[in-house]
Amino acid sequence: MQHRAPVTNTRTARRDGRRTGGRLVVLLVLALVCEGELFAEELDAVLDSSGYAAEERVRIREIHDEARARGIPTTVLVDRIQEGIAKAVPAPRLVAALRDDVLRLETVRSLLDDAVAGERILADPASWERAATLLRAGWPAERLMQLAAICEPRPEAFRAASLLWIAIVDWGASQESAEELTSAAVESGIPDESFPRVASLLVDATRRRVPEPQAVRMIAEALRDGRSLRRIELLFAR
Amino acid sequence: MRATFVKTVTALALILCAAIPAAGYEPVVVIGVRATAGYGSAESTVPEYSYGPEIDVDLRMLPGERLYLAGWYAGSLMVDPPISVPRDESALGVLTGGSFGGLDVELQVGVAASSAMGDDRSTFAPDWSAHAVAPVGAKSTIAVSYSGRYHQTSVPTETHVQNGADVELRWDPSLSLGLAAGFGARATGFADRYAATDELRRDLAAELGCRAEGLVGYFSFWQTAAAATIVRSNDPQEDRSVYRADLHLSTDPTSALGLRATASATASRYLLRDALDAAGLPLGEAVRAVRAAGSVDAQMTVLPDLFLVGDLGAVYGWSNDASLSGWSAEGSLAVQLRL
């Protein structure tokens, strides 16, 4: 049997909830500040051990700090700096590469700001960086927008969807096939980590000599019908 | 007779599917020319070879949300000098399934038939199965299945019916690694083979097995499996234990190239069957046999609808029974055109 909570208790609980929520926000802000400080300290330590001249270290630091101030995720920049130092890349080249990265991340933001679900994709720094990597790899802006639109039902699947798309094209299928299969995978509700099995289905179909457009249609329809991957595999079994 | 019936049904289904594309996907029709060559310790001193045209027709349909229908026909006319041997195989299968409160259920019925004019080895084999999979935790499943088949051949002593059940526990921590272990039991009854007691022969087999498999990247796959089987029969000569290990590797680095390799080893130990020497005289010890087999095959897409297929396989057997020792190797090369 369920008992109704007394009004006073409910109010107290709400007040406590607001307090708890407030504390959580404060803690989150503190955590972010601390993390920023930690990154800043780590970056200083990394730069100090780089062997670059003082003014070069300052220029690198400035690019990093400006990016952060403009709300651009900086983990990709820190990775680039560490990679540059490890490979003993001359400072001017590293600075140029960092500026390219910042420009690309800003381009992605301006592109995705206009895209369906773009805001939700940008909310995840890993997806944002992934989109920048795609542009760097030569993806046209229109295709990036297509992918963002495909991921509208599940923006968190952006990274896995982009990996699937690229794998299918690298394997030798057309951009249209990759788009259709990626779209069906996102819509199907299968977990992101199972996306590689969609590419395997295309391989199974090819082994059975099913023409690519027909194979893509079969797999996409079966995925959208909610059939399990195991059952779709049976489509191409003998 | 039944084989002819199955072929007629398959052909009708194919025609139906071709005539009403809306009912299913377009059948995939591949024609080709194949040449094979084989040699072995039991063959004559010259390699045996054959060549001839082949045809392969596949159809697949998803007629309803929970129904899946598939059929295929493969025929060839192998010229095996100095005679020509038409061979063909066909199969039809229907599968249905659904999810009921987390339980994934599949029911399947099918029939396969094959014939090779000349060696009188036609087969007719209907099969049926029921398969249920339930989740056990986030990344594990338990599967229970029942399967059966009736295998009729033109050699009456080989005609049998088999029924079996399996339980398998599976754990998939990731796509690159899946582990499974299970056990099963199978009963086989022969229609026209008798044990020493003049009863029809009946075998019971119990199997314990495990398997590991995974994807490497997006387009490569590996699988390894091991199993131990104990067979008990009302014909004591057939009592034996069998241990088997398999390895399968496949990779399709591009859409134009697919490579596969398999290897297996099987060790059999009979309890009572006497090993015989080359002259057919008993050696006074039970049969022990080890069989190792391996094969590789490659598929290349030369043009969008033109394929080159090649395979090589070899089997080697060691045994204290002369009839189980020996080796053989076979290779084939085919050019196929998708219509």
Determine the pLDDT at residue A199.
Answer: 94
Q: Are B307 and B313 in contact (CB under 8 A)?
A: no
Whether A210 and B336 lie within 8 Å, measured CB to CB:
no
| Whether residue A188 is found in the same domain as residue A128 | no
In chain A, count H helices and then E strands.
12, 0
What is the separation of C-alpha A59 from the centre of its chain, rounded to a whole number of angstroms? 28
Whether A218 and B217 lie within 8 Å, measured CB to CB:
no
Q: How far apart are CA A233 and CA A222, in angstroms?
A: 10
Mean pLDDT, chain B, whole residue set = 87
Q: Minimal Cα–Cα distance from B176 to chain A, Å?
A: 10
Whether B62 and A225 lie within 8 Å, measured CB to CB:
yes
Determine the pLDDT at residue B309.
Answer: 96
Mean pLDDT, chain A, whole residue set = 81
For residue A125, is the peptide bond before it cis, meaning its omega torsion is within 30 degrees of 0?
no
Q: For residue B163, is pLDDT > 80? A: yes
Question: How would DSSP label each residue in B124-186?
Answer: EEEEEEEEEEEE-SSSEEEEEEEEEEEEEESSGGG-EEEEEEEEEEEEEEETTEEEEEEEEEE
Q: What band does A40 get if pLDDT is binned at 50, 70 and 90?
A: low
Average pLDDT over residues A70-90: 85
Whether A167 and B218 lie within 8 Å, measured CB to CB:
yes
| Whether residue A103 is found in the same domain as residue A172 | no
Domains of chain B, first to last: 97-338 (2.40.160.50)
Asked if A189 has any chain B CB less than 8 Å from its own CB, the reply is no
Determine the pLDDT at residue A37.
Answer: 46
Q: Minimal Cα–Cα distance from A191 to chain B, Å?
A: 11
Number of domains in chain A: 2
Q: How far apart are CA B123 and CA B112, in angstroms?
A: 8
Tell me whether strands B326-338 and B28-40 are parallel, antiparallel or unpaired: antiparallel
Whether A214 and B26 lie within 8 Å, measured CB to CB:
yes
Whether A209 and B174 lie within 8 Å, measured CB to CB:
no
CA dihedral B157, B162, B168, B172 (to 10 degrees): 70
Q: How far apart are CA B239 and CA B336, in angstroms?
A: 45
Best A231, A232, A233 residue to mutate vs chain B (most B CBs within 10 Å) = A231
Kindly state whether residue A116 falls inside one of the protein's structural domains.
Answer: yes
Whether B255 and A212 lie within 8 Å, measured CB to CB:
yes
Range in A23-32, A66-75, B19-28 with the lowest mean pLDDT: A23-32
Best A170, A177, A209 residue to mutate vs chain B (most B CBs within 10 Å) = A209
Determine the pLDDT at residue B233.
Answer: 93
Determine the pLDDT at residue B1.
Answer: 46
Name the pTM for this structure: 0.80
| Whether residue A161 is found in the same domain as residue A199 | yes
**Token digits of residue A138:** 């030569």
Q: What band does A39 get if pLDDT is binned at 50, 70 and 90?
A: low
Domain boundary among A140, A175, A204: A140
For the stretch B50-104, pLDDT in tens is 888 888 888 887 777 677 777 888 888 878 766 677 778 888 888 887 778 778 8
Instruction: State the CB neighbour count (10 A cutoff) for residue A18.
Output: 10
Query: Who has greater pLDDT, B339 or B116?
Result: B339
Whether A209 and B70 lie within 8 Å, measured CB to CB:
no
Query: Who has greater pLDDT, B203 or A48?
Result: B203
Q: What angle do CA A189, A192, A195 make, to 5 degrees?
A: 90
Highest mean pLDDT among A93-97, A137-141, B204-208: B204-208
Classified as helix, coil or strand, B306 is strand
DSSP element (H, E) containing A132: helix A125-136
For the stretch B127-162, pLDDT in tens is 999 999 999 988 899 999 999 999 998 888 889 999
Q: Minimal Cα–Cα distance from A213 to chain B, Å?
A: 11
Kindly state whether residue A14 falls inside one of the protein's structural domains.
Answer: no
**Token digits of residue A173:** 């299928």
Q: Which of A178, A110, A124 lies closest to A150, judged by CA?
A: A178
Determine the pLDDT at residue B63.
Answer: 72
DSSP element (H, E) containing A234: helix A229-235
Kindly state whether residue A1 falls inside one of the protein's structural domains.
Answer: no
Q: Above pLDDT 70, what percent of chain B?
A: 89
| Whether residue A42 is found in the same domain as residue A113 | yes
* Domain with A206 in it: 153-238
Q: For residue A2, is pLDDT > 70? A: no
| Whether residue A163 is found in the same domain as residue A230 | yes
Query: Who has greater pLDDT, B67 or B238?
Result: B238
Q: Minimal Cα–Cα distance from A195 to chain B, Å?
A: 9
| Whether residue A107 is found in the same domain as residue A167 | no
Classified as helix, coil or strand, B272 is strand
Tell me, what amino acid is at A46?
V
Cα–Cα distances in angstroms (integers) from residue A135 to residues A104, B57, B143, B158, in the given order: 7, 44, 45, 64
Q: Minimal Cα–Cα distance from A48 to chain B, Å?
A: 38
Question: How would DSSP label each residue in B271-297?
Answer: EEEEEE-TTS-EEEEEEEEEEEEEEEE
Q: How far apart are CA B324 and CA A4, in angstroms?
A: 81
| Whether residue A205 is found in the same domain as residue A109 | no
Q: Name the residue among A196, A208, A225 with its Cβ closest to that of B215.
A: A196
Q: What band does A4 get if pLDDT is binned at 50, 70 and 90?
A: very low
Domain boundary among A86, A109, A140: A140
Contacts of A97 (CB under 8 A, 6+ apart): A80, A84, A89
Determine the pLDDT at residue B333.
Answer: 96
Q: For residue B39, is pLDDT > 50? A: yes
Domain boundary among A114, A140, A166: A140
Residue numbers in B near A212 (CB within 8 A): 255
DSSP element (H, E) containing A86: helix A75-86
Whether A209 and B307 lie within 8 Å, measured CB to CB:
yes
Average pLDDT over residues A1-29: 45
Average pLDDT over residues B166-191: 94
Phi, psi (degrees; rounded to nearest 5) at A224: -70, -25
Determine the pLDDT at residue B17.
Answer: 57
Q: Which of A146, A213, A207, A152 lies closest to A177, judged by CA?
A: A213
Q: For residue A10, is pLDDT > 50? A: no
| Whether residue A167 is found in the same domain as residue A135 | no
| Whether residue A26 is found in the same domain as residue A127 | yes
Query: Who has greater pLDDT, B91 or A169?
Result: A169
Residue numbers in B near A238 (CB within 8 A): 58, 72, 91
Determine the pLDDT at residue B9.
Answer: 60
Q: Name the residue among A171, A228, A235 with its Cβ closest to that of B219.
A: A171
Asked if A20 has any chain B CB less than 8 Å from its own CB, the reply is no
Kindly state whether residue A3 falls inside one of the protein's structural domains.
Answer: no
**Token digits of residue B136:** 């056990």
Q: Name the residue among A172, A214, A222 with its Cβ closest to that of B255.
A: A172
